[in-house]
A = this chain, B = another copy of it.
């Protein structure tokens, strides 16, 4: 834990007191988003202190040129860069010609920021004494509309406290912005037009290379003590910026307020030639509603989300705040409306991990969206990969695979690989397994087999073909081996027979064959259509089988554990507790070769496999592997603690499970990894949700039946969560003494609780 300035609160993230050294961290923590766009909590007014400016549009990126020491065949020519988009939130404020700038004020008092997660808005208030000794009070509130995801609104109020004052608001649009991640201060946007009509301003700009066309827009309203007034603005314009200045003399203790409406129109959703008129429509509608009505709509929209997704924790406000923060950010990042979008590891909160989609989506995020949204949302996430299947086949063929073998990219925006380090891009191929597993997981949870017959089967075949071609026969082992991979533990590269990779490869082949056979028997026309398309022969399937049935798994008889990879036991096996703390975190203290030859594990690897395939292993096996591997795990990936929390809970080690839970749920709030300034860890937040629902709640699907094995950390009085299971919302409430179930649906549901069948009927509480 590296910071503790966030105030405990069950529904809000609150910062009290202004501290310039915290500005960048808070810009991340107080980020807002609505699935289509998002922004760091940059101040509206001028700020000359250290800041990381960021406003992002979903799906808008830039292809940066790959630059490496020695080029390796197969590298993508470009990798994606998250692009800071034109600024529409800016409102410069001057009081008697003195510019408001928190960094240069003589005094700042009563500074308070609140991110209200229940209602989805960000508020900031403070009093400040400017260089000219005017004292003012500022209150701002803003949100990005969930209902109309192309627009956001800001309410910004100034009250002079020690005298009358001439106050100016200068709302502006600015496309002359830069990225944090740039080598030579390059520009990534071409500004096409700057327009002003009837109080509305527009900047059309296109991204270089990728040629996304956007229109950034704004319109403002003004109020004196809450009463709307008409003001004429004076325009000032440059080739990349338009500013409008509105001034008014304001009496002491009176309040001057601007409502600024703004946002982005993108040609992904609109005719490129009609972006401005689309922006007009959005503005007209928003202005007609006005700030207060839109705020009510926002509260309602968030209320609907929480209705399905909330988790309550009693008796532990920090844990409560942590889980709500995680659920809130996941919903800000991805709404599930658009199958072209996905869940970037930093969401809309920073530029790192340039691409939008990692295996995080399939391994960590799908369970969350599956259980807290309509079924279509998870299906959209699966279809995203189905839509990229041709590109995955092309990607594999660039690496020498053929015959329709598919390798999904490690990082992608458009289906093309956009990462370029060989040990990741070419070798971290286990990602393919997670994509197949997500299909299995979705079907297991929703019973929607239709997805597999329609689309999933082709994906499964492409993936099985990849594993078939990627494995090779080892004469000395008389087994099939998979050489030269990087497993989920990225602290080992180019290893042979990573257990997790081999295991999921074997499983993918078996699962593909199982579905081919099922569809052959029961879905004639789908079978014919797909087989005609992929031209799969029985001979090929027999070859797949030979590999799956004779896959090699490194095992230590002495330790009675599977080995993470062939060479694991040759390492100097000093456990993490015996490693001097001065070495941690090893990714900051050690050179890469030292990390690679150490036994230290970045995130669950074999234990990730035990998580996916828990029914394949006994509890004793899990315990043995947990004891062996957890002792070497440094959890330097945000994706690590959640899986360990779930496994610890399964083993009944509740204190350990609770510690892992805290680490995952407050990773960013408490800045465990000293990097929250760079943005939030969005995808791992879904892992936090899993640690409660699957870990503590013990939720599983066992043969088509929802099953629970409820446990509770001793620190908590009780907790509750909801899941949408096959279109009925089940609410689970767990206390130190019992567990109760309620159903918000039409039909009764048989569930398993600690292995015993329990029937939950609509409108009645069942307590176990």
A residues near B, CB below 8 A? 65, 67-70, 72-74, 79, 183-184, 398-400, 419-424, 426-427, 472-477, 481, 483-484, 493-496, 556, 558, 566-567, 569-573, 587-594, 596-597
Contacts and interface: CB of A to CB of B under 8 A. Distances in A.
Nearest to A67: B67
A68 B69 CA distance: 8
A597 B472 contact: yes
Given A483-B597, A567-B483, A591 B70 contact: no
A495 B67 CA distance: 25
Contacts of A477: 570
A494 B496 contact: no
B566 A400 contact: no
B427 A570 contact: no
Contacts of A73: 587-592
B597 A484 contact: yes
B474 A569 contact: yes
Nearest to A571: B483
Assembly stoichiometry (copies): 2
16 contacts: A69-B79, A70-B421, A73-B588, A399-B593, A399-B594, A426-B592, A426-B593, A427-B593, A472-B570, A476-B556, A476-B570, A483-B596, A493-B494, A494-B494, A496-B567, A567-B567
Contacts of A591: 72-74, 398-400, 426
A558 B474 CA distance: 14
A68 B184 CA distance: 15
B400 A183 contact: no
Contacts of A427: 593
A420 B477 CA distance: 36
B79 A481 contact: no
Contacts of A594: 399-400
B496 A67 contact: no
A580 to B, nearest CB: 12
Contacts of A79: 69
Contacts of A570: 472, 474, 476-477, 481, 483, 496, 566
A69 B484 contact: no
A73 to B, nearest CB: 5
Contact of A592 (B74, B472, B592): B74
Nearest to A472: B572
Closest 7 CB pairs of A and B: A74-B591, A426-B593, A72-B592, A484-B597, A483-B597, A474-B570, A399-B591
Nearest to A65: B183
A474 B567 CA distance: 10
A478 to B, nearest CB: 11
B69 A475 contact: no
Central interface residue in A496, A566, A567, by most chain B CB within 10 Å: A567
A566 B569 contact: no
B422 A573 contact: no
Contact of A593 (B484, B587, B590): B484
A423 B569 CA distance: 21
A419 B400 CA distance: 28
Nearest to A552: B570
A494 B486 CA distance: 11
A419 B481 contact: no
Contact of A68 (B421, B493, B495, B596): B421
A573 B399 contact: no
A252 B486 CA distance: 74
A427 B494 CA distance: 13
A424 B558 CA distance: 35
Nearest to A474: B570
A327 B79 CA distance: 45
A70 B420 CA distance: 9
A74 B399 CA distance: 30
Contacts of A567: 483, 496, 566-567
A448 to B, nearest CB: 35
A183 B68 CA distance: 11
Contact of A475 (B184, B400, B473, B573): B573
A760 to B, nearest CB: 48
Contacts of A67: 67, 183
Contacts of A422: 592-593
Contacts of A69: 68, 79, 419-421, 424
Contacts of A65: 183
A67 B183 CA distance: 9
Contacts of A184: 184
A640 to B, nearest CB: 17
Central interface residue in A399, A424, A569, A593, by most chain B CB within 10 Å: A593
Contacts of A596: 483-484, 494
Contacts of A592: 72-74, 422, 426
Central interface residue in A73, A184, A474, A556, by most chain B CB within 10 Å: A73
Nearest to A568: B476
Contacts of A573: 475
Central interface residue in A419, A589, A590, by most chain B CB within 10 Å: A590
A589 B74 CA distance: 9
A65 B67 CA distance: 11
